[in-house]
C-alpha cells in the first residue's frame, strides 16, 4: 500500500469502515475487528499486523477515522513503543505472540527503563538479570514507570554482563508484570494524579525466549524504543478518540459510543494545540485583556510556536528532508509548548490560576491543570538537556562530553 496516494488510502479506509464500523458494538468487539485489519497500527509491516504505510499515509488513516468519529485503536505504551520495537527487533514468533494482544487492547504494557541511580545516564542501570536454566532472575528497581500499576507486560532492560562495557552487557526483555517479586507503587504528582510509578523487582522471572533482539545487545533495542517514544511525544495530528493507558481489558465491555468522540487529553497528559490557543483568546476577550499589548504579543508568539511545530511535523514526513533529529526536536518543542501555554494561560486568567479544581475556578481548570503538569514534559522521555546533547553529538557532530573510555567494563566504572 505504500505506493498508494493519500486519497486512495482514505477511500480504502472509508470502504473498510462502511463494512465494519457499528455503533452497537462493544469496545472489545470493535478492537477485535480493528486489530487484525492492519489499521490499528498501519505503519507496522504486513508481517507485524500492519499495512507498511509511511508516516503521512498512516496519519491519513487516523484522520479518516477521526472525521468519521470512529473510535480509534487502543492507545498506550504497548501500541506506541512495544509493538514497533518488537516488530523491528523481535522474531516472527515473538511478533505473533505479543502484537495481536496489543493491537486488540487485551494486554497493556509499561516501560521499565529508568532507575533511581540511572535516569539521564540510562546505560548506567544496575538492575541485574542472572541466567537460571531457561529463565532469567531479575532483581533491581525501576522508576518513572508510566502506567505500571495497570500494565500486564513490561519492556525491561537489565544488565546481563557486568564485565562488558556500559552500553554492552544490557539485554531487553518482555516481562510479565503479574507475578510474585514485582511490586508497583504509584508516585502521586502535585497534580494529584499518578501518571508514574516506582517498581521493585525481587527475583522475578522472565523466560529466555522473551529476550527481544540479541543477548547483551539490548542497548540498540532500547534506543529503538526511545526513538519511537520521542517521535510520539513530539508529534501532533488529527487522530480518533480512544481509551487511554494500559490495562485495556477494563473498557472492552463498554459501548464504543462512549469513546468515539475526542473530548480531552489521554493518559493523564493535558491536550495542547490550536483549540486551546483559541480558548485562551476567547477568555482574554471576555475579560477585556485582549487589548494588553504584552499579552497580545505573547499570544502571537504561542500561535507561531504551534504553527512551527505543525510545519516541522509535516516536513518530517518527507524522508528527503529528515535530519535524524526530528524525534528530539519534537520532544523539545513539546516541552516549550507546555511552558508557553502555562505562562500565557496564567497571564490570561490571573488569580484564578491559583485554583486547580474545575469546580473551584471560574475558567474551567484547564490552565491550572497545564500549569501544574508543565514541568513534567521537560523531564520524562529524556530530559531537555539529554535531547540537546543527542542533537549536538549525533546530528551536529559536536565533541562528546568527557568521560571514561567506551570499552571500560561497567564493573570498573565509578558509581554515584
Q: Could you tell me if 79 and 48 are in contact, meaning their C-beta atoms sit under 8 angstroms apart?
A: no
State whether the Cα torsion 123-231-142-193 is positive or negative.
positive
Q: Is the pTM of this model over 0.85?
A: no
Answer yes or no: are the C-beta atoms of 130 and 137 closer than 8 Å: yes
In angstroms, the CA 54 to CA 33 distance is 22
Can you give the C-alpha Rg of the chain in angstroms? 22
Q: β-strands 196-207, 170-176: how paired?
A: unpaired
Residues 269, 243: Cα–Cα separation, whole Å = 13
State the 10-residue block means of pLDDT for the chain, 416 residues long.
85 96 94 96 95 90 92 92 97 98 94 88 93 98 91 97 94 97 92 88 98 97 90 66 62 83 52 87 92 95 93 81 86 93 93 72 79 88 88 91 84 77
Note whether 404 and 413 are within 8 A (CB): yes
Q: What's the CA gap between 359 and 185, in Å, rounded?
A: 29
Spatial CA neighbour of 214 closest among 164, 152, 169, 276: 169
**CA–CA separation, 83 vs 127, rounded Å?**
23
Please give the pLDDT value at position 245.
47
| pLDDT attached to residue 231 | 74
| C-alpha cell read off for 159 | 544488565
Amino acid at each position: 500500500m505504500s505506493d498508494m496516494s493519500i486519497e486512495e488510502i482514505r477511500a480504502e479506509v472509508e470502504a473498510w469502515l462502511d463494512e465494519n464500523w457499528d455503533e452497537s458494538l462493544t469496545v472489545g468487539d470493535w478492537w477485535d475487528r480493528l486489530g487484525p485489519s492492519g489499521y490499528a497500527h498501519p505503519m507496522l509491516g504486513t508481517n507485524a499486523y500492519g499495512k507498511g504505510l509511511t508516516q503521512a499515509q498512516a496519519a491519513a488513516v487516523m484522520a479518516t477515522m477521526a472525521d468519521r468519529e470512529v473510535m480509534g485503536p487502543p492507545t498506550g505504551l504497548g501500541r506506541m513503543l512495544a509493538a514497533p520495537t518488537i516488530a523491528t527487533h523481535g522474531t516472527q514468533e515473538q511478533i505473533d505472540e505479543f502484537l495481536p494482544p496489543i493491537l486488540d487492547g487485551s494486554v497493556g504494557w509499561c516501560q521499565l527503563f529508568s532507575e533511581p541511580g540511572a535516569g539521564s545516564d540510562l546505560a548506567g542501570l544496575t538492575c541485574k538479570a542472572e541466567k537460571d536454566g531457561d529463565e532469567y532472575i531479575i532483581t533491581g528497581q525501576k522508576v518513572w514507570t508510566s502506567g505500571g500499576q495497570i500494565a500486564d507486560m513490561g519492556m525491561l532492560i537489565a544488565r546481563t554482563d557486568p564485565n562488558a562495557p556500559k552500553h554492552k552487557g544490557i539485554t531487553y526483555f518482555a516481562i510479565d508484570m503479574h507475578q510474585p517479586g514485582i511490586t508497583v507503587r504509584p508516585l502521586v504528582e502535585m497534580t494529584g494524579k499518578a501518571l508514574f510509578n516506582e517498581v521493585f523487582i525481587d527475583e522475578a522471572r522472565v523466560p529466555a525466549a522473551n529476550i527481544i533482539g540479541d543477548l547483551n545487545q539490548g542497548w540498540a533495542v532500547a534506543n529503538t524504543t526511545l526513538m519511537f517514544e520521542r517521535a510520539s511525544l513530539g508529534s501532533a495530528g488529527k487522530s480518533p478518540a480512544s481509551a487511554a493507558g494500559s490495562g485495556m481489558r477494563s473498557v472492552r465491555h463498554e459501548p464504543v459510543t462512549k469513546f468515539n468522540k475526542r473530548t480531552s487529553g489521554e493518559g493523564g497528559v493535558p491536550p495542547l494545540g490550536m483549540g486551546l490557543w483559541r480558548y485562551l483568546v476567547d477568555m482574554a476577550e471576555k475579560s477585556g485583556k485582549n487589548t494588553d499589548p504584552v499579552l497580545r504579543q505573547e499570544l502571537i508568539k504561542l500561535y507561531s510556536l504551534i504553527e512551527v511545530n505543525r510545519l516541522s511535523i509535516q516536513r518530517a514526513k518527507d524522508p528527503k528532508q529528515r535530519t535524524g533529529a526530528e524525534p528530539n526536536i519534537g520532544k523539545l518543542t513539546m516541552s516549550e509548548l507546555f511552558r508557553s501555554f502555562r505562562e500565557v494561560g496564567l497571564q490570561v486568567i490571573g488569580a484564578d490560576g491559583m485554583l486547580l479544581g474545575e469546580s473551584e475556578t471560574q475558567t474551567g481548570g484547564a490552565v491550572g491543570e497545564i500549569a501544574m503538569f508543565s514541568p513534567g514534559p521537560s523531564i520524562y522521555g529524556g530530559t531537555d538537556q539529554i535531547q540537546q546533547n543527542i542533537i549536538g553529538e549525533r546530528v551536529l557532530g559536536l565533541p562528546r562530553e568527557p568521560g571514561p573510555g567506551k570499552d571500560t567494563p561497567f564493573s570498573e566504572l565509578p558509581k554515584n
